[in-house]
Chain A
């Protein structure tokens, strides 16, 4: 068993208080970091090989290095805690149980990029989490880890909680910035990238909760410790959030690159019901194309999943047994995307509801001959033609289902009923 880093305090009473966090060695990494040169911290994070845990898998250190070095410029750090990708509940685990690990990670990151202010964008439904973060921030101010001239270093930093209010698109980094600025959360055109023109037009880094929570351990244990865990090109600990038809759903912190087989059958205790074997699994939240039992030995990391035509995304593994109707699941997934389409660009705004309409009629036994070709055509007209990845996610999910279970969709159309049940 690996030593847990990110979820070490899950389920421990009182782990969210600063007293317990400090007693466990918390804020030591920040104190160490404040004595280092910011560029050396960025280099350490680069050397660690840490890649963004929000879904895109971009090198965190490299992202930080794009921030201009001019010390007179206002810069921002934003933590993406919008956690909205269906199947994903990992960041909530950190926020609720170890808020100071995130705050410490954000404080170190802010120091490294020279940001005097940071915002945690937390989804509106996480009321408990938002209150917990605010309490933790207040504690950190009281102990002198936030505010003016932190630990006598001359570094000033203020941290704020910004609460979302129900919009999946805010997980897209430029939509998140629009939302903080008080506008409808519609993605911006890139370039310019946020590293040059982000929040209020200033250089901004946006990182996911899990990404930022890795930072204190990288400072403390060194980049080599991190880079030696898991696969060479996407190392480190990873939180897998497993839901659906397994005996023990929940959060599992394991080395990156754990196989789907090990996760489902070992850690999660196997399939939920005897006689209902695995039919498919989604490896990284609903945007990630589903895989089937033949892919069970796939390592759950960025590159291995990309090689299988899917993606690690948020590391949310959704497990479906043989009783699952893929038409119904595809309808539910697509209904979500059409509900969450922000309305900015036509292919997604009009295309995703159209997909949902066709999927709904197939699901309800009113499918028409030619509907599958119609779905393919709509997918072709959305994919790669949208402003942001939301439309692509809708298409990737549906294409994954159509690729693996096309005959099941056809059966629904031909027989007006389900093959699975």
Chain B
């Protein structure tokens, strides 16, 4: 269920637009954030009711954009490593292998304690500071194995 606060945020988003449907991306983002990183069917149905859309239309919009994790929980820390060209030239593969080894998971998996999910993603627009990754909302750039080890230690 969406909280009252989430519903208020969706109402605020509606004011930006000329139709209700335009707020679907904001609404899904708000729902995903509230739900700890993934969006569930029940919330999409609620969003559909608020925006006067069919649930299937909300689902169709959500499924199009890769940052919505539909019915797929992610860990408290979602690590997304860029694997595109500039990061690859600067050693992204080593970074990914190092993370897989250290975390004991393969790309696309979550650690058994549900703390960390490791994903690879396409270009995040931080090419001059490659290799890089995003952890939840934050960018970590000019990565080295030592920098990653330091960061992982801070995960609580």
Please report A residues at the B interface, Cβ cutoff 8 Å: 83-89, 91-92, 119, 123-128, 160, 162-168, 179-185, 200, 241-245, 249-251, 282, 286, 316, 318, 320, 324, 328-329, 332-333, 336, 339-340, 342
Contacts and interface: CB of A to CB of B under 8 A. Distances in A.
Interface stretch (B110-118, B122-130, B147-155): B122-130
B141 to A, nearest CB: 10
A243 B128 contact: yes
A241 B25 contact: no
A294 B35 CA distance: 54
Given A128-B139, A162-B16, 19 more contacts: A84-B125, A85-B123, A128-B137, A163-B25, A165-B29, A165-B68, A166-B67, A180-B17, A182-B21, A182-B51, A184-B60, A243-B128, A244-B89, A244-B130, A286-B84, A316-B127, A328-B88, A329-B88, A340-B122
A250 B85 contact: no
Given A126-B125, A167-B64, A339-B122, A318 B89 contact: yes
Contacts of A286: 84-85
Given A179-B25, A245-B89, A89 B65 contact: no
B127 A200 contact: no
B66 A167 contact: yes
Interface of B: 16-26, 28-29, 51, 53, 60-61, 64-68, 83-86, 88-90, 122-130, 134, 137-139
Contacts of A250: 128-129
11 contacts: A89-B126, A89-B128, A125-B125, A163-B29, A167-B64, A185-B65, A249-B130, A251-B128, A282-B85, A286-B85, A329-B88
A162 B26 CA distance: 8
B22 A182 contact: yes
B86 A243 contact: yes
A123 B124 CA distance: 9
A245 B122 CA distance: 19
B125 A181 contact: no
A332 B125 contact: no
Given A127-B137, A165-B25, A332 B128 contact: no
Nearest to B82: A86
A217 B34 CA distance: 42
B16 to A, nearest CB: 4
Contacts of B20: 182
B65 A244 contact: no
Nearest to A123: B125
Contact of A165 (B65, B122, B127, B134): B65
A286 B84 CA distance: 10
A179 B64 CA distance: 10
B139 A89 contact: no
Contact of B21 (A183, A185, A318): A183
A86 B137 contact: no
B128 A183 contact: no
Given A127-B137, A165-B29, A184-B60, A86 B127 contact: yes
A195 B117 CA distance: 44
Given A86-B127, A125-B134, A165 B85 contact: no
Contact of A86 (B53, B84, B90, B139): B84
A87 B26 CA distance: 27
8 interchain residue pairs of minimum CB distance: A182-B21, A166-B67, A166-B66, A243-B127, A243-B86, A165-B65, A86-B123, A127-B137
Nearest to A340: B122
Contacts of B65: 124, 164-167, 185
A329 B85 contact: yes
A89 B134 contact: no
A181 B128 contact: no
B122 A87 contact: no
Contacts of A83: 125
A209 B36 CA distance: 32
Contact of A320 (B16, B26, B89): B89
Contacts of B123: 84-88, 336
A294 B21 CA distance: 52
Contacts of B84: 86, 286, 332, 336
A165, A316, A333: residue with the most chain B Cβ atoms closer than 10 Å:
A165
A39 to B, nearest CB: 27
B38 to A, nearest CB: 13
A87 B25 contact: no
A183 B59 CA distance: 11
Contact of B24 (A86, A91, A182, A324): A182
Contacts of B128: 89, 241-243, 249-251
Contacts of B23: 182
A420 B144 CA distance: 24
Nearest to B53: A182
A332 B83 contact: yes
A9 B19 CA distance: 37
B26 to A, nearest CB: 7
A168 B83 CA distance: 15
B139 A165 contact: no
Contacts of A243: 86, 89-90, 127-128, 130
